[in-house]
Structure 1
Amino acid sequence: MTRELTWDHCVNVRDLGGLGAIRPRALIRMEAPTRLSESGWAALWDYGVRTMLDLRAADECPPDDAPRPAGITTVRVPLDPVGTPFYEHWVQLDNLSSPLYFPAMLAEHPAPVIAAVRAIAAAPPGGVVFHCAGGKDRTGLLALVLLAFAGATPAEIIADYLVTYDRMQPLYDEEGYPDVLGRMVTILERHETTVEASLTSTVTSLRMPDFLLQNGLSAADVDALRARLT
């Protein structure tokens, strides 16, 4: 199975099926679908997607270039705890753009993560796409949680996380942000860690499904999530 998907005018789309116990077409991650063309939306629909989970705040959401199919349900669960001391601290430290903030987010502000997981568990039949703006940081954090729940290895989660940098770099170049990966690696080096070490530490510290249950997901939600993903 090819996990990489080609949907017109989006560059960072991939199926998480095959990682851990996740089945194909259940869960797809991508960048914001704003640039999707009509044929891109048609490809998304034909792939079986029926729910879009948007992790951005409302003021980050420009209009789509092409209309969404009428049968798509859009759910918004802003993941960043904007306006909190946590957010202000990490904006200064890494602009919430490296895996360095992931463990602190999960420890100090698990509620929005749990809300996003619950939205996936409760989604109507069909595939679920989740995304933020670039499909890298907020999307990467939620992907890590879902993949850890599904039994993916740290190596699988790291590899999936790093794919985004290759897929998004042409868009970063257009926007005047060369070598985004290199700048993120430099941030981690200042804190004497690496992408691999930081993500591995976060993944191995998560106890699943305990993390979800201890932070407000019900046992029924956990069962629904497992059924949806596997």
Structure 2
Amino acid sequence: MDNFRDVAGTVTAYSTCHGTLRSNAFYRSNAVIPSAADMLLLEELGIRAIFGLRADQEIKAEPDMIPSGATYRQFNVLRERFERTDLSTFSFESGEQTAAFMADVNRDFVQSAAIREVLGEVLTTMAETQGPVLFHCSAGKDRTGWVSALLLSIAGADEATLMNDYLATNTYTAQRINAALVAMPEETRAIYAPVMGVDAHYLNAALEQVAIVYGDMDNYLLNGLNLTRQLLGDLRSKLLM
């Protein structure tokens, strides 16, 4: 769980136009496959709910280990994309093609009605859940990164904060990514490096799509995800001191 961290901040709590973020409200992570020491920490933090953003095949390959006292719920964010893309026959021929694919995935967080519906369910359930919530996907970077960006936006964080939090994944997962790249044949390393971590271009692709389609994040949350101002207010109260 090298990409586990508090949404409130990586070093100190983030400050926003509405105030300072509250620790121990929302956590983000890669797949919940903790060591014994990690599991003890999760239980000490009082995690009450784990929201898995992965597809069925990802869960089957790497099942989550749920800490005692926590409930689990799956939200298959990219189900619609997986259904229309045969990943078993999908291959990349260049790093540029891989990076373009990652940007398209992020645009789909805004463009796809099916994905927006699931994201709305995620945030609605977060608002209704008591106690600390941990949400995650496989690497904790794309689906998890976008949900974290939405929470930070609701809290009033600026785009610089969203981007810094998003790019922190590269620092947290550097050791694992470097080991994986070193193990690859040299000719494929450049092709798959873009999918291993995150890049500002990926998040910007989604943010730019929000601006194009909805004008701003507030309108995306209200009309794209069909959230109410009351629910956004409830989430903001959970997020802020």
Q: Same fold (TM over 0.5)?
A: yes
Q: Is the 8 A contact 1:172 1:180 kept in 2?
A: no
Match for residue 122 of structure 1 among 113, 124, 128? 128
Q: Counterpart amino acid of 2:66?
A: R
Matched, 1:13 2:4: yes
Q: Is the 8 A contact 2:31 2:137 kept in 1?
A: yes
> Against the structure 1 CA distance between its residues 148 and 204, is the aligned structure 2 distance closer, same or farther, given a 3 Å change threshold?
farther
Matched, 1:164 2:169: yes
User: 1: distance between equivalents of 2:190 and 2:24?
Assistant: 31
Match for residue 107 of structure 1 among 108, 111, 115? 111
Provide the aligned length of Structure 1 versus Structure 2: 210
In the TM superposition, what is the alpha-carbon distance from 1:108 to its structure 2 partner? 2.2
In structure 2, runs of 5+ residues without a counterpart are 92-96
User: 1: distance between equivalents of 2:72 and 2:233?
Assistant: 23
Q: What are the residue-to-residue correspondences of 1:32-71 with 2, within 5 Å? A: 32-34=31-33, 36-61=34-59, 62-64=62-64, 68-71=66-69
User: 1: distance between equivalents of 2:32 and 2:55?
Assistant: 15
Q: Counterpart amino acid of 1:46?
A: E
Q: Which has the bigger relative contact order, CA under 8 A and spacing at least 6?
A: 2
> Against the structure 1 CA distance between its residues 179 and 135, is the aligned structure 2 distance closer, same or farther, given a 3 Å change threshold?
farther
> Against the structure 1 CA distance between its residues 41 and 204, is the aligned structure 2 distance closer, same or farther, given a 3 Å change threshold?
farther
The aligned counterpart of 2:239 is 229
In the TM superposition, what is the alpha-carbon distance from 1:42 to its structure 2 partner? 1.5
In the TM superposition, what is the alpha-carbon distance from 1:220 to its structure 2 partner? 3.9
Identity %: 24
In the TM superposition, what is the alpha-carbon distance from 1:134 to its structure 2 partner? 0.7
In the TM superposition, what is the alpha-carbon distance from 1:131 to its structure 2 partner? 0.7
Q: Aligned with 1:82: secondary structure?
A: helix
Q: Is the 8 A contact 1:29 1:129 kept in 2?
A: yes
Match for residue 201 of structure 1 among 192, 196, 208? 208
TM-score, structure 2 length as denominator?
0.72
In the TM superposition, what is the alpha-carbon distance from 1:145 to its structure 2 partner? 1.5
Judging by fraction of residues, say which structure has more helix. Answer: 2
Q: What are the residue-to-residue correspondences of 1:177-192 with 2, within 5 Å? A: 183=194
Match for residue 152 of structure 2 among 147, 156, 164? 147
In the TM superposition, what is the alpha-carbon distance from 1:216 to its structure 2 partner? 2.2
Q: Is the 8 A contact 2:52 2:137 kept in 1?
A: yes
In the TM superposition, what is the alpha-carbon distance from 1:169 to its structure 2 partner? 2.6
In the TM superposition, what is the alpha-carbon distance from 1:49 to its structure 2 partner? 1.9
Q: Is the 8 A contact 2:52 2:136 kept in 1?
A: yes
Range with bigger deviation, 166-175 or 154-163: 166-175
Q: What are the residue-to-residue correspondences of 1:210-221 with 2, within 5 Å? A: 210-214=219-223, 215-221=225-231
Q: Counterpart amino acid of 1:31?
A: N
In structure 1, runs of 5+ residues without a counterpart are 1-9
Q: Is the 8 A contact 2:98 2:194 kept in 1?
A: no
Q: Is the 8 A contact 2:32 2:66 kept in 1?
A: no
Q: Counterpart amino acid of 2:48?
A: R
TM-score, structure 1 length as denominator?
0.75
Q: Aligned with 1:52: secondary structure?
A: strand
Aligned CA RMSD, in angstroms, stands at: 3.4
Q: Counterpart amino acid of 1:63?
A: P
In the TM superposition, what is the alpha-carbon distance from 1:149 to its structure 2 partner? 1.6
